Amino acid sequence: MTLVNLVLHLYSFVLMAIVFFGNFRIYKYEKLTNRWFIKLAFLNMIMLLSKSLFFLITLCEWDKPLLLGLLEFIFYASHFAFICTFVFFQAGFVRQGKAVHSVYRHISIVICSLSAFMLCTCAFNEYIYTFDPGHRILVWMYVLGQAGGVLILALSICMLIQYHKYMAGLEIKALLTFHILPVLSIILRCFIPDLRVTPVGFSFSMVIINIFAMYNRSILLGQREAQVNRDRMRLMLSQIQPHFIYNVLNTIYNLCDINVEMAKEAIDLFSGYLRKNFKSIEGEEFISIKDELEHVKFYFLLEKMRFKDELELITDVDDVDFMIPQLSVEPLVENAIKHGILKRQEGGTIFLSVKDKGENHVITIEDNGVGFDPAVLSLPDADHVGIRNIRERLEYMGAALDITSIPGEKTTCIIRVPK
């Protein structure tokens, strides 16, 4: 039976290696979901390899209890990391349409850490199992040690139940195999005690998820990406409004007679602003927050030249190491100026901050303008369509946009980008 176990685990290892390298090639396309799937495949490969070496040493009847203990240590450490990673992978699936409550990830990390600590530290004592020699003998705490994995799987099932409406039926069925196949392998072991195929069950469920759920999601994401690109094109064109261009050129024309240096600066800012807008057509969908903030600077300084002391911008930026969809912050600043501050006789101030807050990068745009009734965002107005466009492109990458406003006081836009 040891030889059968060895062959099954080696076969599964080769299968997972194919899945791993196949998905690694399309890593950039799938982004969030594929990132976690690659980690799952890698951890499963470690599990299978450690078990294969374990069975090989046992088959050759080598008296290496210390090495066997080390292999069991590696297996259980990767096993619990594997199950915990699946919770994050499943959350990535859901997050394409809905933000998953962080309690699932936090609980899975705690359970995984405690269970892995228990089993890994017991790999070299007799609380969980011992070797006599080269053969593992389970003792009474083994069932307790396995309870953590069962709890994490139960947690992921609860997540499936709670967020099932944000996933396709085919995806749910494929993800359920991750729970069903390992359970079937455990049941099979009750009839054939020496047959240890739980990692093999995980491997086959990974293949099913890769074929059905990942393929189905890649089609949906491809369609959504095409729609997002079309929406981004429309938003970019709407940003280059004739009246804005006319106002900037008129400002430059007047400055030529008053202050040549300021006229040169205005031309430089205007060319930078146009370059950023045109680049959004042919460039990458996601850019660094630094580039997006530079676009904001170009626009604000151009408007500052026109309205002078009526406009102020206060920035507080200490988190710049992340990506964001193009034209996701600048249009919000533009709306704050046009529909908030400039409608006040005395003008106003925009507060722009970028902070690292736990699980998210948080961008806040707040103005002390006239505010508005948030209910108007649901109306089919061109500016509100632009807001919906930004929100949809942010949701595509798992981010979220929240807008609150108090009429007569202020408007606050908060973008949360998950890490």
Q: Which two tokens stand for residue 298?
A: 């170009």
Mean pLDDT of all residues in 357-362: 87
Mean pLDDT of all residues in 398-404: 87
Q: Which has more pLDDT, 226 or 73?
A: 73
Domain assignments of the chain as residue spans, ordered by start: 2-225, 240-418
> Which CATH number is associated with domain 2-225?
1.20.1070.10
- Asked whether residue 96 carries a pLDDT value surpassing 80, the answer given is no
Q: How far apart are CA 52 and CA 66, in angstroms?
A: 16
Q: How far does Cα 394 stand from its chain's mean position?
A: 11
Up-side HSE of residue 295: CA atoms within 13 Å toward CB?
A: 26
Sign, CA dihedral 272-273-275-276, equals positive
Task: Say which residues have a Cβ less than 8 Å from residue 71's Cβ, sequence separation at least 6.
Answer: 50, 51, 53, 54, 57
Percent of the chain with pLDDT over 90: 7
Q: How far apart are CA 120 and CA 109, in angstroms?
A: 16
Per-residue confidence (pLDDT) for residue 216, from 0 to 100: 62
CATH of 240-418, one of 3.90.1150.10, 3.30.565.10, 3.40.720.10, 3.20.20.140: 3.30.565.10
Q: Which has more pLDDT, 138 or 92?
A: 92
The identity of residue 62, as a single letter, is: W
Long-range contacts of 191-198 (CB under 8 A, 24+ apart): 192/1, 194/1, 194/2, 194/5, 195/1, 195/4, 195/5, 196/5, 196/51, 197/5, 197/8
The tens digit of pLDDT for each residue in 267-292 reads 888 887 777 766 665 656 778 898 88
**Within this chain, domains 2-225 and 240-418 share the same CATH topology:** no
- Asked whether residue 380 carries a pLDDT value surpassing 60, the answer given is no
Cα-Cα-Cα-Cα torsion 199, 72, 120, 202, nearest 10 degrees, comes to: 0
CB of 55 within 8 A of CB of 76?
A: no
Mean pLDDT of all residues in 246-274: 80
Per-residue confidence (pLDDT) for residue 277, from 0 to 100: 66
Position 366 confidence tier, pLDDT thresholds 50, 70, 90: very high
The tens digit of pLDDT for each residue in 134-159 reads 444 444 455 555 677 778 888 888 88
Mean pLDDT of all residues in 59-65: 76
Per-residue confidence (pLDDT) for residue 134, from 0 to 100: 43
